Amino acid sequence: MHTRIIRDIITASLVTTFAMTGHAAQWEALPEAAPAPADNPTTEAKVELGRLLFFDPRFSSTGTVSCNSCHNLMEGGDDSRDVSIGVHGKTGGRNAPTVWNAAFHSVQFWDGRANTLEDQAKGPVVNPLEMGMTGLEEAMNRVRAIAGYKPYFDRAFGAGDSMTVDNAAKAVAAFERTLITPNSPYDRYVKGDKKAMTKPQVRGMKKFADIGCISCHSGATFNGPTMAVGTGFYMKFPSFSDNTYTGKYKLTDDTGRHEVTRQEADKHMFRVPTLRNIALTAPYFHNGSVNNLDEAVQVMAKTQLNRELRTKDVQDIVAFLNALTGEFPAMSLPRLPGTPGKSILAD
């Protein structure tokens, strides 16, 4: 079934459900563990290896860009820029989405071009604007040249020919499935602690539903309903273009999923992003064009719902969005395997 038809059916169903239930039944706390595919169960050894690879810049063409460069785990899982800087100072056209809670997306990237975290992990390595390697095997040869990585691969995948592109991607994906931020004020509130959120946050939660934000930003991660991996929950952005925001923030310059499928119906369709930790991931939208959360709420109301919000409503909704900031697991920079006596980059 076509992407747009699926989207319209789901949206209509969500709106009807919220109207019938008064919204309360739909609030979900964030799970404390992410699902893993049958061919890549999460293990401590994979997570340990994946953490090393995530922080290692040496398999970028210049040796300067790692996964963490654009998805900074010491903060919001992004890089606080409108668009990221890759090798040789190159920049793309899209904002780096947070990697925190990315395990709960059914597709990856703004345009959904990767079905799984494993697929996503391979993309930036060979993107000429990001890590800039000419091929995945070339990047893997960099890893193979670091002898200290071999024991980590063997522990994670068994002795033998363990140092493969697929295994490296599986390890990074396994690590990313541990990047979950539960126990936000919102989570505690919906679990029964009615003191966990402030009065403005509670008001904002109700307005978030009443105004219609929840028709797209539903579910435990506020990125739409739970869907099969690879399906993707997409929405048109902007839905309403006859406003000052569309031109001011260049919202229609990027055609979204259409750039992958080349189908006319996919123009300006984007994967619905999570709102978890949204207060920490400015600037906002696919092009990072809005640097203020209050403004982002106003833009969304006008471009998606064709509504203009009162200042008080915006303040309450922003208060609620701040309640979605969860608890981050302890994170430290790993000691990467070295190459005593030589540089693999100089060669």
> What are the extents of the domains in the chain?
3-30+182-322, 44-176
CATH topology of domain 3-30+182-322: Cytochrome Bc1 Complex; Chain D, domain 2 (1.10.760)
- Reply yes or no on whether 130 is catalytic: yes
Whether 3-30+182-322 and 44-176 share one fold: the answer is: yes
Nearest alpha-carbon partner for 120 in 69, 168, 49: 168
Q: What is the pLDDT of residues 27-83, one digit of tens each?
A: 999 999 999 999 999 999 999 999 999 999 999 999 999 999 999 999 999 999 999
What's the average model confidence in pLDDT over 231-242?
Answer: 97
**Is residue 264 scored above 50 in pLDDT?**
yes
Nearest alpha-carbon partner for 82 in 283, 273, 299: 283
Given 28, 32, 44, 130, the catalytic residue: 130
The predicted pLDDT at position 26 comes to: 85
The predicted pLDDT at position 123 comes to: 97
The predicted pLDDT at position 22 comes to: 42
The predicted pLDDT at position 24 comes to: 47
CATH topology of domain 44-176: Cytochrome Bc1 Complex; Chain D, domain 2 (1.10.760)
Q: Could you tell me if 293 and 321 are in contact, meaning their C-beta atoms sit under 8 angstroms apart?
A: yes
- Across 239-261, b (16+ Cβ under 10 Å) vs e yields eeeeeebbeebebeebbbbbeeb
The predicted pLDDT at position 308 comes to: 97
The sign one gets for the Cα dihedral 41, 43, 47, 53 is: negative
The predicted pLDDT at position 206 comes to: 98
